[in-house]
């Protein structure tokens, strides 16, 4: 096994790091930027990882507002990835999944599976209450996490961070970015 790799893959520190432009979208009827702890956790982790923080927004649980924010970031060409927090639960106001999944050109099915595996280790069967999902919209990765601080930490630390690190082997999502819009 190559040095720097753990079983199943890992970060190879001798490889160059390529920063990704990442925006954070919080979906909540009760939070604003000053009280948005889960969004701030994501922003801190994006920056600490060496990525380019590309934007932040806090919007209500409203399908059109969610779509408009995501579409604007993508159309402006300022993001490579968007991480959302909130609105993935089961209540009537949780509409992030309904807002974004119809926009997905491709769904990243494995994200939900791995997120739930990680989440189960933290919160047990309560992970069933999350509809965490991910997909690609017009060549941009979109990851939809629950709104709790713990879920955001699990989602970033144990799933997203490695796949948005160009040094992660045997493969990562960064190396796919130039080819996402291939015909």
CATH topology of domain 19-176: Molybdenum Cofactor Biosythetic Enzyme; Chain A (3.40.980)
HEC readout, 73-113: HHHCCCCCEEEEECCCCCCCCCCHHHHHHHHCCEECHHHHH
What tens-digit pLDDT sequence spans the chain (183 residues)? 334 334 578 999 999 999 999 999 999 999 999 999 999 999 999 999 999 999 999 999 999 999 999 999 999 999 999 999 999 999 999 999 999 999 999 999 999 999 999 999 999 999 999 999 999 999 999 999 999 999 999 999 999 999 999 999 999 999 999 999 998
């Amino acid at each position: 096994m190559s040095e720097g790799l753990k079983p199943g893959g890992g970060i190879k520190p001798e490889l160059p790091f390529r920063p990704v432009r990442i925006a954070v979208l919080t979906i909540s009827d009760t939070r604003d930027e000053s009280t948005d702890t889960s969004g701030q956790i994501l922003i801190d982790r994006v920056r600490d990882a060496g990525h380019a923080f590309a934007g932040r927004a806090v919007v209500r649980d409203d399908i059109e507002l969610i779509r408009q924010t995501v579409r604007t970031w993508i159309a402006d060409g300022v993001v490579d990835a968007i991480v959302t927090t909130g609105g993935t639960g089961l209540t009537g106001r949780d509409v992030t999944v309904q807002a974004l999944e119809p926009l997905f050109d491709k769904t990243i099915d494995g994200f939900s599976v791995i997120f739930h595996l990680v989440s189960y280790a933290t919160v047990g069967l309560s992970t069933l209450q999350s509809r965490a999902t991910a997909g690609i919209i017009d060549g941009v990765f979109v990851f939809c996490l629950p709104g709790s601080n713990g879920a955001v930490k699990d989602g970033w630390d144990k799933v997203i961070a490695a796949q948005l690190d160009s040094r992660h082997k045997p493969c990562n999502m960064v190396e796919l970015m130039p080819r996402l819009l291939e015909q």
